[in-house]
Copies of this chain bind each other. A is one copy, B any other.
Amino acid sequence: MNLKELAKHLSLSQTTVSRALNGYPEVNERTRQRVLQAVQATGYRPNRAAQRLATGKAGSIGVIMPSSPGRDTDLHFSEFLSGLGEVCVSEDILLVVHPSRPEDEEATFRKLAASGSVDAIFLAYTRRNDTRIDLLKSLKLPFVVHGRAASDGPHDYPLLDIDNHGAFRDAADLLLQLGHRRIALLNGPDYLTFAIARRAGLEEALKSRDLSLNPAHCQEFAMTEENGYRGMVRCLETEEPPTAVLCSSMLLALGAVRAINQRGLKVGRDISLIAHDDVFPYLKPENFTTPLTTTRSSIRAAGARIGERLIDAVARSTLDQQQEVWPVELIMRASTGPAPTELDISRQQRAG
């Protein structure tokens, strides 16, 4: 049934029916009720745009997709989106994905909120003292932040994060217990809070043994296979190369393993490696030639959980205020072993 048929059925003009559905004040309440009853009785589905004007709800969650020609796809983003999608498919919610150049992001958030296209928003890739969080607070839309503006509280906004600091502190502690003293870090970009928290976790563990992170062994960049390879090559070329390395993503680990193998070294014997595993289904740590020890937390599960929280906030017309921080598992596999002795290392160097 379309608008015309519905109007005929009610013996009203199309304009009146449309006004009633759109909430115009000049349609009296009795007519309005008649129209709404007919809508229910006939199963007429008003155009989504009209429906939105009537209900004030868009049935959509807004997502900013960092995008620009030449910018690489971010697998972490895709995996998060899959989790969000998994929840939305059950609730019949659309995702309104707004591709945005990173420098236009604040303007994009404002535009999304003003457009009425979305009921809720989420923010990812948090930076230290992230000004976008204040912007989101001012928009009066339900939102959840994936991450934190700084790893130490208090936080007065809704968030979901994992314990990045604790994860990398525990991973480093394990390596220290195995006798490693020179631990490298292949990390995400240095302005993102998850990377800052992971570095701080490693530094805390080193400091507890009066050690510190060699700046030449700390490489921070976009988390690609290629950067992992290059970063590991640079670390191995230093005067006193590391005997262990922490990698902030499976892709960095893939590249690091390539660099290690290329030098004729063996993961788990010559170099210990622990990677953070976001649980990409297509790149599993147990499938590496030497299965990788990991800190594990599913980024897809985080997407699904944020989706649930946003949908719930919209349904209840409230602002979500939860601060949720997930612990991270440390899973032992074959890529971590005792630190090689100085004798082992000089043998390696002769062979290299």
CB-CB < 8 A to A320: which residues of B? none
Q: List CB contacts (< 8 Å) of A80-136 with chain B.
A: 81-82, 85-86, 88-90, 94-101, 114-117
Taking a contact as CB atoms under 8 Å apart, the answer to whether A282 and B48 are in contact is no
A69 interfacial by beta-carbon distance below 8 Å: yes
Taking a contact as CB atoms under 8 Å apart, the answer to whether B45 and A49 are in contact is no
Taking a contact as CB atoms under 8 Å apart, the answer to whether A85 and B65 are in contact is yes
CB-CB < 8 A to A75: which residues of B? 75, 78, 282
A47 interfacial by beta-carbon distance below 8 Å: yes
Taking a contact as CB atoms under 8 Å apart, the answer to whether A94 and B98 are in contact is yes
- When C-beta atoms are compared, the residue in chain B nearest to A117 turns out to be B48
CB-CB < 8 A to A90: which residues of B? 69
A289 interfacial by beta-carbon distance below 8 Å: yes
A214 interfacial by beta-carbon distance below 8 Å: no
User: What are the 3 A-B residue pairs with the smallest beta carbon separation, nearest first?
Assistant: A48-B115, A85-B99, A78-B78
A240 to chain B, nearest CB (A): 27
CB-CB < 8 A to A101: which residues of B? 89
CB-CB < 8 A to A281: which residues of B? 72-73, 224
In the bound complex, how far is the Cα of B47 from the Cα of A84, in angstroms?
26
CB-CB < 8 A to A72: which residues of B? 82, 281-282
In the bound complex, how far is the Cα of B255 from the Cα of A77, in angstroms?
24
A26 interfacial by beta-carbon distance below 8 Å: yes
Taking a contact as CB atoms under 8 Å apart, the answer to whether B258 and A287 are in contact is yes
Instruction: Bin chain A's interface residue count.
Output: 35 or more
Taking a contact as CB atoms under 8 Å apart, the answer to whether A282 and B15 are in contact is no
Residues of A within 8 A of B (CB): 15, 24-26, 45, 47-50, 52-53, 58, 60, 63, 65, 67-69, 71-73, 75, 77-79, 81-82, 85-86, 88-90, 94-101, 114-117, 224-226, 229, 251, 255, 258, 261-262, 280-284, 287, 289, 300
In the bound complex, how far is the Cα of B117 from the Cα of A94, in angstroms?
10
Q: Give 14 A-B contacts (CB < 8 Å), ordered by A residue.
A: A48-B115, A48-B116, A48-B117, A49-B115, A73-B280, A73-B300, A75-B282, A78-B81, A85-B97, A85-B99, A94-B97, A95-B97, A224-B282, A229-B287
Taking a contact as CB atoms under 8 Å apart, the answer to whether A67 and B52 are in contact is no
- When C-beta atoms are compared, the residue in chain B nearest to A86 turns out to be B69
Q: A99-B89, A116-B48, A284-B225 are in contact. Are A73 and B79 (CB under 8 A)?
A: yes
- When C-beta atoms are compared, the residue in chain B nearest to A261 turns out to be B289
In the bound complex, how far is the Cα of B71 from the Cα of A100, in angstroms?
27
Partner of A26, one of B15, B52, B81: B15
A220 to chain B, nearest CB (A): 18
Besides A48-B116, A78-B78, A251-B282, 14 new A-B residue pairs in contact (Cβ under 8 A), listed by A number = A15-B24, A15-B26, A48-B114, A49-B58, A60-B96, A67-B88, A72-B281, A73-B79, A73-B280, A73-B300, A94-B97, A95-B96, A225-B283, A255-B287
Taking a contact as CB atoms under 8 Å apart, the answer to whether B99 and A95 are in contact is yes
- When C-beta atoms are compared, the residue in chain B nearest to A91 turns out to be B99
In the bound complex, how far is the Cα of B117 from the Cα of A60, in angstroms?
10
Partner of A49, one of B53, B63, B81: B53
Taking a contact as CB atoms under 8 Å apart, the answer to whether A96 and B99 are in contact is no
Partner of A114, one of B45, B88, B114: B45
